[in-house]
Structure 1
Amino acid sequence: MPRAKCFDKEDALQKAMKAFWARGYEATSIQDLVDCMGINRGSLYDTFGDKHQLFISALDQYTQRSLSRGNALKQDGNTVEILTDYLYAFMYRTLEDPEKRGCFITNTTVERGSYDPECAKLIREYYGKIEEDLTALIAKGQQNGEIENQREAAELATFFVGVMQGIRVMGKLRPEETTLRPMVEVALASLKG
């Protein structure tokens, strides 16, 4: 008769995500995962599969949580103000991370994006969804005259995704508002032509 699992799967996955986020895939050992998740190896393998499958599950959990913040881009109101609030909230989340981990997606893009097809697929879908939400907001702002039309909305959306990832990378090395605020301000200035 199989033994019942004596741990919360979502909590264990959250703990694994934090370990991968802090150390990266390669530097996180199975023992690190067993220790931080508070489960034994057998339970890890039975519940999550191998290390790579666990990593993919953790990355997926992070992307879903992160994408939920994109709902802020879908609210009614002045599009420039919505985008401004969104970018500054993003910047402050970076500044308020005491461990200076950066973005799990950005870290994974750098570490595994070019040779791990499953990671690359999740990452492309993640960035694609953010670009889609930004494109819709920017296009709405262009249609109602709040944002100048000199660039295509999709081009600006891709630019803003790049700026956001740059904020996360710079925030790991120079986590000061005096460094990150100008990145937001210059990006927002691009909406004026």
Structure 2
Amino acid sequence: MPRAKCFDREEALQKAMRAFWARGYEATSVQDLVECMGINRGSLYDTFGDKHQLFMAALAQYTEASLTRGSALRQDGDSVMIITDFLFSFMYRTLGDPEKRGCFITNTTVERSAYDEECAQKIREYYDCIEKDFQDLIRRGQAAGEITNARSPEELASFFVGVMQGIRVLGKVRQEEAALRPMVEVALETLKMKTAA
């Protein structure tokens, strides 16, 4: 009779995600995972499959949590204020990372997407979701006269996703608000309606 699992799958997955986030895929060994998750190798393989499958499950867990935070872009209200609050909250989360881990998605994009198509596809799906939320909000703001029509929603959404990733990358080496705030403020300038001379 097989033994029942005596650990919490989601808790173990969270621990694995933190290990991969801190060290990256290649630098995290199966032994590292066994130790941090508090389970044996047999349980790891039986529950999650191999290291790559575990990594993909951890990446999925992170992207789902990140997209939940991104739902702030789908709320009602003034579009410029929603984007402003979202970007500043994103900046402050970056500054509140004393371990300077950056973003798990960004780190993974750099480390693995060039040669791991399954991983690259998951990351593309994540970016597509964030861009879609920006596009919908910007389109709504343009229709309401809150956001300039000088650029399309698609162009602005792509730009804001790029700004977010830039904040995460720079935040790994410069944990000062003075370094990151200009990125947010200049980005927000692109939304402004032109005033009559």
The equivalent of 2:122 in structure 1 is 122
The equivalent of 1:135 in structure 2 is 135
Aligned AA (2:26): E
Equivalents in 2 of 1:158, 1:89: separation in Å?
19
Equivalents in 2 of 1:160, 1:8: separation in Å?
37
- What whole-Å deviation, never above 9, does each CA across 1:121-172 have from its counterpart, x for those lacking one? 1000000000000000001111100000000001100000000000000000
The equivalent of 1:150 in structure 2 is 150
Equivalents in 2 of 1:109, 1:45: separation in Å?
25
Equivalents in 2 of 1:99, 1:88: separation in Å?
20
Q: Secondary structure at the match of 1:178?
A: helix
For residues 177-192 of structure 1, what are the structure 2 equivalents within 5 Å?
177-192=177-192
Q: Secondary structure at the match of 1:145?
A: coil
Q: Secondary structure at the match of 1:173?
A: coil
- What whole-Å deviation, never above 9, does each CA across 1:9-38 have from its counterpart, x for those lacking one? 000000000000000000000010000000
Q: Secondary structure at the match of 1:60?
A: helix
Equivalents in 1 of 2:70, 2:101: separation in Å?
21
Equivalents in 2 of 1:98, 1:4: separation in Å?
38
* Structure 2 spans left out of the alignment, 5+ residues: none
Equivalents in 2 of 1:68, 1:183: separation in Å?
24
The equivalent of 1:24 in structure 2 is 24
State the percentage of identical aligned residues: 74
The equivalent of 1:163 in structure 2 is 163
Q: How large is the Cα RMSD of the aligned pairs?
A: 0.6
The equivalent of 2:5 in structure 1 is 5
Q: Structure 2 length as normaliser, TM-score? A: 0.97
- What whole-Å deviation, never above 9, does each CA across 1:93-116 have from its counterpart, x for those lacking one? 000011110000000000001110
The equivalent of 1:70 in structure 2 is 70
The equivalent of 1:106 in structure 2 is 106
Equivalents in 1 of 2:37, 2:98: separation in Å?
21
Equivalents in 2 of 1:190, 1:111: separation in Å?
31
Q: Structure 1 length as normaliser, TM-score? A: 0.99
* Mean Cα deviation higher: 145-154 or 68-77: 68-77
Q: Secondary structure at the match of 1:192?
A: coil
Aligned AA (2:131): E
Aligned AA (1:133): D
Equivalents in 1 of 2:72, 2:181: separation in Å?
20
User: Structure 1 residue 56: deviation in Å?
Assistant: 0.2
* Structure 1 spans left out of the alignment, 5+ residues: none
Aligned AA (1:191): L
Q: How many residues get paired?
A: 193
Structure with a larger share of its residues in helix: 1
**Following TM superposition, where does structure 1 have runs of at least 4 consecutive aligned residues deviating by more than 2 angstroms?**
none
Equivalents in 1 of 2:115, 2:145: separation in Å?
43
